[in-house]
Amino acid sequence: MGNFFESQEPNISGVMMIEACPKIVSEILNSLDDACSEILKTQLQNLFAPAQRIGGVPEQFSIMTYPLPRLTYEQRQLMELVETQSINVDLGSRKVRIDLDDFGQINWLYVSGIPEMYASIEKFMPHG
């Protein structure tokens, strides 16, 4: 099944976003301004989508994601919680909203107008 990826966590499978849709991830990275941290850009390059049903339809969908490696319990204990935030990425008529969790980690993507991204990811997800 192609680049189906077994994550570092037992019994978690899915796909690295850079492998499923490299062109689109590259476009997102290139569209982020200098105000976005290198940490966020690194997270995008290491973004993993665990096996799941994608919410929505090809023209407008959302998907849970997280960067690998994941924060350990010990790392989370040492971190200060931050306000959750969203970063809107405008790719012309196509839009991506990147949601960050209380630790500043990417945890959800909302995508509009990029059906090819949906199709690329969907190939790696369970059916049924």
pLDDT of residue 113: 97
In this predicted model, which residue has the larger pLDDT, 37 or 120?
120
Length of the chain as a residue count? 128
What span, in angstroms and rounded, lies between the C-alpha atoms of 67 and 16? 9
pLDDT at 35 over 80: no
Within-domain flag for 37: yes
pLDDT of residue 2: 39
Within-domain flag for 128: no
What the block records as the tokens of 76 is: 């989370």
**By C-alpha distance, which of 103, 86, 91 is closest to 21?**
91
pLDDT at 4 over 70: no
Mean pLDDT of all residues in the chain?
Answer: 89
The tens digit of pLDDT for each residue in 70-95 reads 999 999 999 999 999 999 999 999 99
Which ranges of 1-128 does DSSP label H, i.e. alpha helix? 17-20, 22-31, 38-45, 73-78, 115-122
pLDDT of residue 11: 65
What the block records as the tokens of 28 is: 């997102």
**By C-alpha distance, which of 38, 23, 43 is closest to 91?**
23
Domain assignment of residue 26, given as a range: 5-122
Within-domain flag for 82: yes
Q: pTM of the full predicted structure?
A: 0.86
pLDDT at 36 over 90: no
Domain count, the chain: 1
User: What confidence category does residue 14 fall into, taking pLDDT thresholds of 50, 70 and 90?
Assistant: very high
Within-domain flag for 89: yes
What span, in angstroms and rounded, lies between the C-alpha atoms of 40 and 4? 24
- Measure Cα distances from 128 to 52, 100, 106 in Å: 11, 29, 27
**By C-alpha distance, which of 101, 123, 91 is closest to 43?**
101
- Measure Cα distances from 58 to 1, 21, 47, 51, 112 in Å: 21, 14, 20, 17, 8
Within-domain flag for 30: yes
What span, in angstroms and rounded, lies between the C-alpha atoms of 62 and 118? 9
User: What confidence category does residue 3 fall into, taking pLDDT thresholds of 50, 70 and 90?
Assistant: very low
Within-domain flag for 127: no
